[in-house]
Amino acid sequence: METSKPAWILLQNAFGLILGFLTYLLIMRDAGVSSWGIFSTALSIGLIFSFVSDLGINTAHTRMIALGKDRNEYNNALIVLKIFLTALYVGLIFLGVFVWTAILHQKFQSPLVYMSILLLIPYFLGLPYIQANRAFFTGTQEAFKMSLPAIAESVVRFAAVVLLIHFNVFHYPNARSGIPEMALLIAVSYSVSYVVYTVLSFVIGMPWKFRLPHLETIRSYLRYSYPLIWASITKAISANVPQVLVYIALGSFDSGGYAADNKFILMMTGFTMSVTVLILPELTSRLSSNDDYGKAMGGTVRYLTIFITPITVFAVVFAAPILNLWTSGLVSFTYPLQVMLVGSWFWTMSTPYWTHFNAVAKTRVSGFLNNFGYTIWIILDFVLIPKSLADVRFAGLGIVGAAYAYLISGVIILVASIIALSAELKIPVTYQSLKGALISILLGGFFYLFLGGDSAIHSIVLIGLFLAYAGLYAGFLLASKTISKEEFFDIVNMLNIRRLGRYAVEELKNKSQ
């Protein structure tokens, strides 16, 4: 695979991680943790229904394009489906709020939750098309075209937060006091950035001749994606229900603390999963050669282990000072973040195993594996987070319970995915992978022994520690021959700026359709 492709995705996610960290620093300090909790609850309520905008067709589209299907025909089919699903998605959001308030006679602690939902409607409208765009460019493996709108979105969101929240350019009353009403300005920032994301995705990804697709094309989507539908539902629910349960059980501040932990997990997994984005089209392109296919799977597992383990370990060791950079009020949420970081390792490592079944069109298996993991996650959330629901008593562990639910379900899906793949394809866990993981854990233990208890580490010092950790890790990988010098220099050469620039220009010159 052309190394500039994963390199551009890696750079996009690294850029998003850095700018995202600065964005949420301003939000936590200027808007306050409670405002962030209110906004995050509103966002999660809308995203609970986001399964309607997917239903497995995004994965289906990636595979169809990777197989060389007629791009014009299949893009038209996808857009027709997305128009219908988007209308249904937004309608379900309003229906859900109506049922909660008018039929069940329930309410949230603050009416700002409902107002934030309304302000996020442009975000929810743009989400299905953005998913479609990313599915298409994943299938074509056009990494720069996939990355550019996401980079622009990060910049616009940061600029919106700076202007609306930090500098308060519209003179919002008491904006710098961290009042709950700042949740509304966070919602506006998200919606504005997603409008830009949607428009830019359309400009870069559009131009194809629109016509109504053939009915058989629609059917081919449904045949492939049908087994993934339930997994799409449970995925959306499992990712967003914890936020809502924490808000109901503990209020806006604790909800903000959980949202901060979860946001850091999402930013970090977005970065570490840069390696996994192109797994489906890469495996699909190698189906005709058993030799190449086995090597691709084995190499993916090996590099993924060596790449994500040290980043996860460093974040676990320095979780407290990382949260403290946002605001000292988040330091009390360090332990749940550490547990969730370990859980994210298991969830990420399961990706190559169940993706194999999507590549070979055995979506019933991948759908079952994901649905199994997400369902366990949802059940554990309800059992571990609240003290009681509908007069039934539960564990009442709050945010810690949410973290445990994520970790346990991650372990389960990884084990289940490995067992399922081993039944038909032998992909051994190489000693080299285990050695790399062990090196990073021992190195992390050394750093924790001397510095892990300090939550007040300056940002410059923290960056220096990360560079030292990364340098030592790379040195130990080479010294132990976990990776060869040739592999190391190949990895470094991925970030050759001149090559990346040439690749981006060439990709933009070539039509996607």
Whether 190 and 43 have beta carbons less than 8 Å apart is answered as yes
- pLDDT cut 90: percent of the chain above it: 47
Confidence of residue 384 (pLDDT cuts 50, 70, 90): very high
From the list 178, 242, 197, the residue with the least C-alpha distance to 43 is 242
Q: What 3-state DSSP class applies to 465?
A: helix
Q: What is the pLDDT of residue 177?
A: 59
pLDDT at 429 over 60: no
Q: What is the pLDDT of residue 409?
A: 97
How many Å apart are CA 406 and CA 357, to the nearest integer?
A: 23
Question: How many angstroms from the chain centroid is the CA of residue 180?
Answer: 26
DSSP 162: I
pLDDT digits (tens, 9 = 90+) for 159-186: 999 999 998 887 776 555 568 889 999 9
Contacts of 82 (CB under 8 A, 6+ apart): 53, 128, 129, 131, 132
The first and second tokens of residue 259, run together, are 């949202």
pLDDT at 72 over 70: yes
pLDDT digits (tens, 9 = 90+) for 215-258: 888 888 888 888 888 888 999 999 999 999 999 999 999 999 99
pLDDT at 492 over 80: no
Q: Which residue has the higher pLDDT, 389 or 46?
A: 46
Q: Give one word for 152, left, alpha or beta, with left for phi > 0 and alpha for psi -120 to 50.
A: alpha
- At position 213, the amino acid (one-letter code) is P
Mean predicted confidence (pLDDT) in 290-312 = 78
The first and second tokens of residue 225, run together, are 């994606």
Question: How many angstroms from the chain centroid is the CA of residue 478?
Answer: 31
Q: What is the pLDDT of residue 208?
A: 62
User: Taken in order 451, 453, 454, 459, is the CA torsion positive or negative?
Assistant: positive
Confidence of residue 1 (pLDDT cuts 50, 70, 90): very low
pLDDT at 422 over 80: yes
Q: Which residue has the higher pLDDT, 464 or 13?
A: 464
How many Å apart are CA 40 and CA 186, to the nearest integer?
A: 9
Mean predicted confidence (pLDDT) in 418-425 = 84
Phi then psi dihedrals of residue 388, to 5 deg:
-160, 150
Question: How many angstroms from the chain centroid is the CA of residue 198?
Answer: 18
Mean predicted confidence (pLDDT) in 129-141 = 86
From the list 19, 243, 22, 21, the residue with the least C-alpha distance to 116 is 243
The per-residue pLDDT of the chain, averaged, comes to 86
How many Å apart are CA 256 and CA 186, to the nearest integer?
A: 13
Q: Which of 40-49, 146-155, 264-273 has the lowest mean pLDDT?
A: 264-273
b (16+ CB within 10 A) / e for 125-146: bbbbbbbbbbbbbbbbbbbbbb
Q: Of the spans 11-15, 378-382, 431-435, which averages the highest pLDDT? A: 378-382
pLDDT at 65 over 50: yes
What is the reported pTM? 0.88
Q: What is the pLDDT of residue 193?
A: 97
pLDDT at 284 over 70: no
Q: What is the pLDDT of residue 495?
A: 66
How many Å apart are CA 321 and CA 456, to the nearest integer?
A: 6
pLDDT at 80 over 50: yes
How many Å apart are CA 81 and CA 176, to the nearest integer?
A: 43
Q: What is the pLDDT of residue 87?
A: 94
Q: Which of 22-26, 102-106, 187-191, 229-233 has the lowest mean pLDDT?
A: 102-106
pLDDT at 191 over 50: yes
- Write down the number of H helices and E strands in the chain: 21, 2
Q: Which residue has the higher pLDDT, 352 or 276?
A: 352
Confidence of residue 397 (pLDDT cuts 50, 70, 90): very high
Q: Which residue has the higher pLDDT, 136 or 507?
A: 136
Whether 462 and 318 have beta carbons less than 8 Å apart is answered as yes
Q: Which of 240-244, 287-291, 433-437 has the lowest mean pLDDT?
A: 287-291
The first and second tokens of residue 320, run together, are 């407290």
pLDDT at 114 over 90: yes
Q: CB-based burial of residue 44 (10 Å sphere; 0-12 exposed, 13-18 middle, 19+ buried)?
A: buried
